[in-house]
């Protein structure tokens, strides 16, 4: 099971995701992909097993991911103040992975019809969704995954 967390800017969301996922699913390896080194560093400090920074790691790792988690903007070109390149958004969007997108109404992107929740509650909902997905799929390589 290849679980990827993509985040940018300061990496706060990614850090919180890694902390919560490691706490509730410690047997799974997490790959932190930051759009910048600060975000990657924050996720690694939070306990991610592997980390890489920039466009190519996102494109390469999303190709065979099982789950991709991050803010909604990771599938929108030039979001996160321009940190998500069109190639990154395309690679994430075209990945066959189950995508868990956390609504963040910034950078001229608004998701209507959603209840505004505190940020921490969105993180908890994302972790619950990962647990549900993992429960649905056969886990041939847990703990972790076999190829990077």
All structural domains of the chain with their residue ranges:
3-136
Predicted local distance difference test score (pLDDT) of residue 145: 39
pLDDT-derived band at 117 (thresholds 50, 70, 90) equals: confident
Whole-model pTM above 0.85?
A: yes
Q: Which residues pair with 117 in a beta bridge?
A: none
Domain spanning 3-136: CATH 3.10.280: no
In whole angstroms, how far apart are CA 69 and each of 30, 58, 92, 94?
Answer: 11, 12, 10, 14
- pLDDT tens for each residue of 22-44: 999 999 999 999 999 999 999 99
List helix spans (H) across 1-148: 12-24, 37-45, 55-62, 79-82, 86-94, 119-136
């Amino acid at each position: 099971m290849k679980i990827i967390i993509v985040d940018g800017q300061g990496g706060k969301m990614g850090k919180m995701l890694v902390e919560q996922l490691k706490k509730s699913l410690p047997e799974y390896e997490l790959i932190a992909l930051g759009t910048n080194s600060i975000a990657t560093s924050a996720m690694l400090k939070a306990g991610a097993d592997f980390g890489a920074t920039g466009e190519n790691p996102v494109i390469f790792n999303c190709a065979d991911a099982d789950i991709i988690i991050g803010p909604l903007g990771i599938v929108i070109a030039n979001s996160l103040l321009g940190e998500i390149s069109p190639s990154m958004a395309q690679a994430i969007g075209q990945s066959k992975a189950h995508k868990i997108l956390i609504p963040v109404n910034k950078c001229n992107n608004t998701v209507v019809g959603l209840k505004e929740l505190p940020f921490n509650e969105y993180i908890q909902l994302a972790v619950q969704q990962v647990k549900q997905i993992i429960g649905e799929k056969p886990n041939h390589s847990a703990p972790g995954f076999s190829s990077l």
